[in-house]
Chain A
């Protein structure tokens, strides 16, 4: 005789012996739970499956409680969801591990670094490229110009140099760019206009196209790529390579319309009327002035780079050149000046080299190419004397740290001195030239509604530099992707993927000791990082040829073995992470002691990690009740409880042939060591 009761007010019936969870499932309501397995007796441990008995006000573990006739069970009320979230947050508070590897967390696009490195090292270039393009749709460009956020967080930094991650992108993209084509779904009937054909705009177009949206990208310039084309010099990113990527977008059916500038020959209101959504991704093209007398005599850095780019990488020798600024644009300007024939190029920066925002590698390469640096120097006046420009500077010294954490330069009184030059380039920053009719924030960027969104107002989205100020290509790509996902949510009613919101991490290598780094693979290489092959220095200085070559597949195969593969072996099917994501758990909601991460790697094929264990004891019961072995037991009690073996002798070799406990573990506390 079945039992009639209520789930969230809906009358349902349960078979005798059925638990509330089973009955709910039979009625299409899935209650999450971590500690159950149909083959074993109840563990009633995780309490993620709590529901509430409305009449008694009691919370019940639905995995174990059986419904009573007429009982009113609440499954999805805010109160129940809150209890569920708390149970998960408490479990997360004792859980250690790496839901994603630190490189993936560091990557602004959160690309699956470990996976593509492994695929490419194994020679599966096209698969690797597919993984990369899930997050980075311009891998040839990023593979050349990225400041390598990922490598800075690579745990190989502890014992040497990071894995040359970016070179993997470049290799896979260079090898199979032409052969690789995404599957484009049928048109969904929606259309989106993207204003600005730089990386942000192109990424937005790319991910919208992958949803079957018809996309038109407008750009003010004659060709596409934005700052990657007109701001990044040829020697770092050859235009031909960029053009290949642009052509690929066109092949995907993205319409590219050049020569259209918002406010000139493109009207925002009309776009809004004609399209389902408009993405503004116009970049930061307004150069900041030197903020000193005579600043108009200086050439803005982006204009300088733009003119070289449009003139096919030619230009007149700038003669004695002063470039003011310490960022990557300043480095592009000094190195371009060298290539235009100047033998006397100086970078002037008001702080010291340590504070320079430019990439260390760029600074080093500039130095190799003969660029001089004058630190702790700030311009106060620029004037023309005859054919020469005279820059008056002040000596600076470093004072207290400012808001950015860097020590603030303070002028040394009476330290003025003059420098004579033929060309003065100012590269101290860029801003957004916001179109009329769009709200802007206090920095002059387009005002998005909140952090981590691209929504500006109805139908209008802002992505890339124009939304947050000048940053890198990979950040622009991530921003463009976010715009595409948000538009898909808004116009296609597609839920945003709850991806990557939970980042349980063992921490960054700077805070770790070598002992804390967990290595599951047996074949970790101790070879040094792959050396990049540069063209001869003279050739570098005299031409715009790309300075270094793509690594070879053989080099990638060997470099790939240097990857520790930090991420959790179970990340793709960890139930704790999945449910925590779905429940919207807060990170570190209940901070506190964790059991010391004690990896047991004694078994050649199986890893046991107490730090990840949530003590659900499913493994213990599976081994005892299903496998009939009883090799595992719950030991100690309270917070110190953990799963162990007799005499702490570890699992026997024969466990390799069973693995039942591994398959039943809801987290990665018991897992195969070898990752697939």
Chain B
């Protein structure tokens, strides 16, 4: 029975929705919905609730259904506007979030030009074209917008540098090489509202008189590339790429998998078909960039903000946020919390508001938060009152980064966390400069030793000394920030390091070499699941775990129905 109140049905079907099994739900909805249009939309940011279906009613209101299984009952329930499985945005999140940049996301069909335009899309560009280019740049300056890719440089200033160049071949690059593990703001924006990013770029092209727009996008984001390409074709079909009578060249170049290509000069090298290795600046890209042409690089989210600034005016835009950062910021929440996903909040929102109120993390179970991914640092819970903006985070030894925010629970080992991040960065080092190539490797090796129980107290000093030198002596941002997770954890969680090296103990029971797996005989019901699950036959017939055979793979811990088997820090079993 299909409710007559339903006007249309929307289902989030970009990467996250698909990964959660949304395609099966979509097919069933299409099959069952009859005449009611079922529209694929982008991401609303509620990843924890995917697949997420919105039933739009004739009166304009909506009813959401979350975690929709691909089963007929669930589809019937939606179509009949049943009570089961209804989803509403958690109250606290609704209070704190401030959806501006993501206003279109999850609400329109990303592949529909009309959807974007009818919601006010390209009004920003239209308005810009009525202004002199200098006035557009001035508006961006007034907005106080700073680069959303992590550096936080004034966008208006950057634009004015390019505008000042006398060249007919200026290039603007959109950096869509989002490589931080755990960050997916840019992907979501490109997949959900590709036109918004392109509109920002076109406005920039007008303001700076650029001739070429390139989007450098990770090849790992096929849907973002597909949606952007559709949007580019639509732009060309609607001649929006003809500005002041100039036809702006606009295309996508796919990255080929190298984190360091997020770095301006490396990105340019990669665009030129070279190894993505950074070079010394100056010359800055605005002087000599892609193919030697004046080039400006902005991040996806930065461009995403531009139409907004033009639509509502820089001054209005600047009303949101703080001295340390204007406007809103999109964060990707992940880790030990209830509601992982995307959220857009005003700059200056505190970490605790983001993590606890919006993310739903349990304050009792959270130890810290990592911002800025592998380039950032951890912020301990005691400092969660810090407002999130560029300057406040930097003062804590962390960085805003592109907006990844990983919540670290009490049961995570901070040494292992640092090791994990450095494992990533040292492998992503391009290998050009000594401090990064060798320095990060040596730091990683020390951390490997520490988590393996072979560390020495002196290692901590070496890490600090070498870490600060790698920061100071590396050529590009990768090396200059790679030691951050290590230095920050050493600063705030030195006691955990000391336990690893002195007592050979990991309080979080995470570092395999410093952990024992023990079976509590009093809880054991002798079901033998542990014996069957053990890959190395470390559990004896009388349920005793041989610590020498055991690889700490956790198979038995996970399978035990009575929770009789536990990981405990080595030495605590006495």
Contacts and interface: CB of A to CB of B under 8 A. Distances in A.
Contacts, number: 92
A641 B442 contact: no
A90 B435 contact: yes
A640 B434 contact: no
Contacts of B438: 90-91, 93-94, 590, 639
25 contacts: A44-B280, A44-B432, A47-B433, A47-B473, A59-B472, A59-B473, A64-B280, A66-B282, A83-B473, A86-B435, A94-B438, A590-B442, A590-B466, A593-B445, A615-B437, A617-B432, A634-B431, A638-B427, A638-B429, A639-B426, A639-B431, A639-B437, A640-B431, A641-B431, A641-B437
B430 interface: yes
Contacts of B429: 637-639
A64 to B, nearest CB: 4
Interface in A561-606: 590, 592-593
A338 B493 CA distance: 74
Kindly list the 8 A-B residue pairs having the minimum CB-CB distance in the complex, ordered from nearest: A641-B431, A90-B438, A64-B280, A638-B429, A639-B441, A44-B280, A592-B445, A590-B442
Nearest to B462: A590
A139 B473 CA distance: 49
B462 to A, nearest CB: 8
Contact of B475 (A44, A83, A93, A615): A44
A136 interface: no
B275 interface: yes
Nearest to B427: A638
A472 interface: no
Given A46-B433, A47-B433, A638-B431, 5 more contacts: A45-B432, A46-B434, A592-B441, A592-B442, A639-B437
A442 interface: no
Interface string A47-64: 110100000001101001
B274 to A, nearest CB: 11
Contact of B430 (A48, A86, A637): A637
Interface residues of A, number: 34
Q: Among A66, A614, A638, find the residue whose CB has the most chain B CB atoms closer than 10 A.
A: A638
Interface string A91-111: 101100000000000000000
B338 interface: no
Contacts of B23: none
A119 to B, nearest CB: 37
A633 B486 CA distance: 33
B528 interface: no
Contacts of B437: 615, 638-639, 641
B439 interface: yes
Nearest to B426: A638
Contacts of B282: 66
A41 to B, nearest CB: 9
A87 interface: yes
Interface residues of B, number: 28
A133 B362 CA distance: 78
B258 interface: yes
Contacts of B439: 90
Contacts of B464: none
Contacts of A674: none
A636 interface: yes
A470 interface: no
A449 interface: no
B494 interface: no
B428 interface: yes
Nearest to B430: A637
Contacts of B258: 637
Nearest to B429: A638
A42 interface: yes
A40 interface: no
Contacts of A641: 430-432, 437
B276 to A, nearest CB: 9
Interface of A: 42-48, 50, 58-59, 61, 64-66, 83, 86-87, 90-91, 93-94, 590, 592-593, 614-615, 617, 634, 636-641
B279 interface: yes
Given A61-B280, A590-B442, A592-B441, A90 B426 contact: no
A389 to B, nearest CB: 57
Contacts of B428: 637-638
Given A59-B472, A83-B473, A90 B280 contact: no
B469 interface: yes
Nearest to B439: A90
B431 A90 contact: no
Contact of A636 (B431, B441, B442, B466): B431
Nearest to B435: A47
Contact of A83 (B280, B431, B472): B472
A65 B445 contact: no
Contact of A44 (B260, B427, B433, B445): B433
Contacts of A64: 280
A23 to B, nearest CB: 16
Interface in B414-438: 426-435, 437-438
Contacts of A46: 433-434
Contact of A637 (B431, B442, B445): B431
Contact of B442 (A42, A59, A90, A640): A90
B163 to A, nearest CB: 24
Q: Among A90, A592, A615, find the residue whose CB has the most chain B CB atoms closer than 10 A.
A: A90
Interface string B434-471: 11011101100100000000000000001000100100
B474 to A, nearest CB: 8
Q: Among B275, B426, B427, B473, find the residue whose CB has the most chain A CB atoms closer than 10 A.
A: B473
Nearest to A635: B275
Contacts of B442: 90, 93, 590, 592
